[in-house]
Amino acid sequence: MTPQQAAGTVQDAAPGGRIRGWKATIAVAMSNYIEAGSIIALATSLTFWQEFFGFSTWMVGFVAAISANAFGAAIGAMIGGPLGDRYGRKFIYTYDLVLYMAGTLLVVFAAQAWMLVLGVVLTGIAVGAGVPVAWTYIAEQAPHDRRARHVGTAQLAWSLGPAIVFAIATALVPLGLLGSRLIFAHLFVVALITWWVRRGLAESDIWTAQKAEREAAAAQGAAVRHRGLRELLSHPRNVSALLFLIGVYSLWNLVAGQMGIFMPRVYQSAGVESAASQNLLQVLVWTLTVIATYLGFMLLGDRMDRRLLYGIGAVLGIAAWVLLVFAHVTMPLLVLFAVLWGVSAGIGAQAFYALWTAEMFATPYRATAQGVLFFIARILVGVLSFFFPTLLEARGVPVVGLLMIAFLVVALVVGVLGAPDTRGKSLEQIELERYGQRVAR
């Protein structure tokens, strides 16, 4: 029995309070709720902060760029991924949410611009460190024939964050900036509860087994080396997987990243002036993403051809933006846009990226690879975030929409052509097929 299979058969709470099974999956998946919630909390409050501090449009782009949506998360990913491979998956969960809570408190009580900026950076670094390791941990602990279902839980949590935060933001619109502060306060409470629960997490079985092998080899006098970033980038199999996943996720995330932080402004440019209406459209998007994640990715990802499922999601996303760019914009059309994009996001690139990244890299490289890919994706989002609000203001939805469509089409082609045949296989089996041997530490 492999470590993943064993993890699927144990009780949720192992002796000594060690949390495993679905409870562990849910506790770790909350990194995604917190990340997405942070992005949307900032997105729904940017206009209020702009008015409160007198920010220019350029400064709005800067704050978005350094947040959990972009550079902040990128820095955290490059810290958390390698540390997760070296010291263990659980190591990250001892510290990341403490940093996150400090950041959210700074935002809640921000009276000067530096407090907002520092709080946004700290929350970004914290979620950047936690999310890649979360995807790694969940995939390693999942039974191999239900890996998509378990990894999909992280996508489900990532979708619930925006759905709930946009709903709260809609209800709190009359409170203005105070409502935005309350949203960040809610994220602080969720992070505190999650941190408390995670104290009982068991370490990844696969990582623990490799650590024991390394220690046994060292005790016998064998040379043991840490396989870090340099070796990740020097192996041809790793490089090809990195390029494939950049094409799948980084390009798609360029679109999703701008939508996550700036979509209310896109709706405004399309003629939807009411903040409540903008938020309700986003509630619809994310509610449908939750539904599609469960009914599509979680229930079908271990059963049907993944190349086909990925392709369906990618096509729906392109169709959504084609409507927004080329059709006359009305409220019914915006509702249709929300439906198409919501379903697309539920079975689309991010869910498959989380799954394929865990499958395509050996255990000694897995979290580091997640960190590198997350870093690249968020850096690209950050660069575009500097220019996106200004470009949207100057050229409107048609121009930025064509750019979004181009990114999505390339991601569709790369994903469909390069999708790996990994469904139903254990991580050990995939490692042997890809590398020709086990990759020891």
CA distance 290 to 359: 23
Q: What pLDDT does residue 221 have?
A: 62
Choice between 258 and 107, residue whose per-residue pLDDT is larger: 107
CA distance 88 to 367: 9
* Phi, psi (deg, nearest 5) at residue 13: -120, 110
pLDDT at 108 over 50: yes
Q: Which two tokens stand for residue 384?
A: 């575009």
CA distance 314 to 408: 7
pLDDT at 4 over 80: no
Q: Which residues of 85-111 are buried (b: 16+ CB within 10 A; e: fewer)?
A: beebbbebbeebbebbbebbbbbbebe
Whole-structure pTM value? 0.83
Residue 370 half-sphere exposure toward CB, CA atoms < 13 A: 35
Q: What pLDDT does residue 13 have?
A: 39
Amino acid at 75: I
- Write the CA distances from 224 to 92, 184, 205, 206, integer angstroms: 23, 45, 20, 18
Per-residue model confidence as pLDDT tens digits over 373-421: 989 988 888 888 777 778 877 887 788 889 999 999 999 999 999 999 9
CA distance 140 to 373: 18
Q: What pLDDT does residue 304 have?
A: 92
15-19, 57-61, 70-74, 349-353: range with lowest mean pLDDT: 15-19
Q: Which three-class secondary structure state does DSSP give residue 223?
A: coil
Q: What pLDDT does residue 286 have?
A: 87
For 110-117, what is the mean pLDDT?
Answer: 94
Mean pLDDT highest for which of 16-30, 61-75, 199-213, 365-379? 365-379
DSSP lists the bridge partners of residue 201 as: 19
pLDDT at 439 over 90: no
For 92-98, what is the mean pLDDT?
Answer: 86
For 129-135, what is the mean pLDDT?
Answer: 86
Say how many Å lie between the first and final Cα of the chain, rounded.
21
Per-residue model confidence as pLDDT tens digits over 297-316: 999 999 999 999 999 999 99
Q: What pLDDT does residue 441 have?
A: 55
For 154-179, what is the mean pLDDT?
Answer: 88
For 219-231, what is the mean pLDDT?
Answer: 66
Q: What pLDDT does residue 412 have?
A: 96
CA distance 142 to 7: 7
Choice between 70 and 128, residue whose per-residue pLDDT is larger: 128
Per-residue model confidence as pLDDT tens digits over 327-342: 887 888 889 999 999 9
Q: Which two tokens stand for residue 409?
A: 């089409």
Amino acid at 370: Q
Choice between 128 and 409, residue whose per-residue pLDDT is larger: 409
Q: What pLDDT does residue 336 have?
A: 93
Containing 18, the helix (H) or strand (E) segment is strand 18-19
